């Protein structure tokens, strides 16, 4: 039987995979993060959310970020977006130090952040109008972006009339309308049901193929990360730091049929090993027996 644990070295370092990532690294760097550290001062004391995080992302790369809850993923993406300032270290986008939000970065959050009082079209036009574009041109462009996300028919609807998946498609159109070089996404499909989420993943890959944009995408879902990413940045917690940057060997174009492919399973096994390392009982811990309080007298056993 296929054992994914035995495959990684053979697959992850095949000539074809190596060649693909060598090519990727010849593209110019679009996002450079150097020795990024973030400390929060709280009433309980100082907390280091990110410690010495460094990595480089190349143009049109799709990077996913995974890591345990609280390891600083949202803090990292908020610093990249310019919504939060770092304690030390540097973030450069196209060689220029980030010092606040900018049109070169678009952001899509997990929560629905459309303006409820504006129609879908006006939500997408909003950033364009803020940047001084005329109404007619902004409207034309908004409709093109809505066409790209498959929602041109809903241009005059209001956000409350849309499903969660549709709202996130508008949010993507709104972010892309400003032509950012980088799209920053913090668990954008986290609130969607499994079926809608799968559709949105495929849809996002379609969009990425058709738009000159680099995507930086946070997720809790290992399969989602493998399905979408060129490389996966694995963070560890306490303090948040880079554990590994993994090259995903699954060939493109991606499809759900690949979920059981050796490359996919090998990558999954590798991520599982990083995120949930096998527990090593040691010292006093090993002697502690799990203790369960029985709240009711149930008389018989289910096992």
Ligand X SMILES: Nc1ncnc2c1ncn2[C@@H]1O[C@H](COP(=O)(O)OP(=O)(O)OP(=O)(O)O)[C@@H](O)[C@H]1O
* Contacting residues toward ligand X, per CB under 6 A: 40, 42, 47, 49, 67, 69-75
Q: How far is the CB of 74 from Mg ion (least distance, A)?
A: 3
Joined together, the tokens standing for residue 78 give 């908020």
Q: Which is nearer to ligand X, 38 or 254 (CB)?
A: 38
Q: Which is nearer to ligand X, 150 or 190 (CB)?
A: 190
Is 118:155 a contact under the CB 8 Å cutoff? no
Q: Which is nearer to ligand X, 27 or 47 (CB)?
A: 47
* Part of the chain binding Mg ion (CB under 5 A), chosen from 11-19, 21-29, 66-74, 240-248: 66-74
User: Among all residues, whose Cβ is closest to Mg ion?
Assistant: 74
Angle at 231 between CA 228 and CA 233, to 5 degrees: 105
d(CA 264, CA 249): 8
Q: Site mask, Mg ion, residues 111-150, x = CB under 5 A?
A: ----------------------------------------
Q: Which is nearer to ligand X, 12 or 191 (CB)?
A: 191
What SS3 state is found at 222? helix
Bridge partners for 217 per DSSP:
64, 185
Name the binder of 239 from ligand X, Mg ion, none, CB < 5-8 A by kind: none
Q: Which of 57, 74, 119, 123 binds Mg ion (CB under 5 A)?
A: 74
168: contact with Mg ion by CB under 5 A: no
DSSP states along 174-199: HHHHT--SEEEEESTTTTS-HHHHHH
Is 28:95 a contact under the CB 8 Å cutoff? no
d(CA 275, CA 273): 6
What is the contact surface with Mg ion in residues (CB under 5 A)? Answer: 73-74
């Amino acid at each position: 039987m296929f054992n994914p644990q035995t495959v990684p070295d053979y697959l992850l370092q095949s000539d074809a995979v190596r060649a693909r990532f060598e090519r990727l690294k010849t593209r110019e760097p679009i996002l450079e993060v150097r020795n990024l550290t973030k400390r929060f001062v709280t009433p309980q004391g100082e907390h280091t959310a990110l410690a010495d995080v460094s990595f480089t992302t190349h143009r049109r790369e799709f990077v996913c970020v995974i890591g345990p809850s609280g390891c600083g993923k949202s803090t990292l993406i908020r610093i990249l977006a310019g919504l939060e300032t770092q304690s030390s270290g540097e973030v450069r986008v196209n060689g220029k130090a980030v010092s606040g939000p900018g049109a070169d970065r678009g952001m899509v959050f997990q929560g629905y952040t459309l303006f409820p009082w504006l129609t879908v079209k006006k939500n997408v036009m909003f950033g364009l109008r803020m940047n001084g574009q005329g109404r007619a041109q902004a409207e034309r462009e908004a409709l093109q972006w809505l066409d790209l996300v498959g929602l041109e028919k809903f241009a005059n609807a209001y956000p409350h009339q849309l499903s969660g998946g549709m709202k996130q498609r508008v949010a993507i159109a709104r972010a892309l309308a400003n032509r950012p070089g980088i799209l920053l996404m913090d668990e954008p499909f986290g609130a969607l049901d499994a079926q809608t989420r799968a559709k949105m993943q495929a849809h996002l890959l379609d969009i990425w193929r058709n738009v000159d944009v680099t995507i930086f995408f946070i997720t809790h879902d290992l399969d989602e990360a493998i399905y979408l990413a060129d490389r996966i940045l694995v963070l560890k917690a306490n303090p948040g730091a880079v554990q590994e940057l993994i090259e995903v060997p699954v060939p493109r174009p991606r499809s759900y049929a690949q979920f059981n492919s050796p490359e996919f399973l090998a990558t999954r096994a590798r991520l599982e090993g990083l995120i949930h390392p096998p527990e090593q009982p040691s010292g006093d811990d090993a002697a502690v027996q799990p203790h369960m309080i029985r709240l009711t007298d149930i008389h018989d056993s289910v096992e």
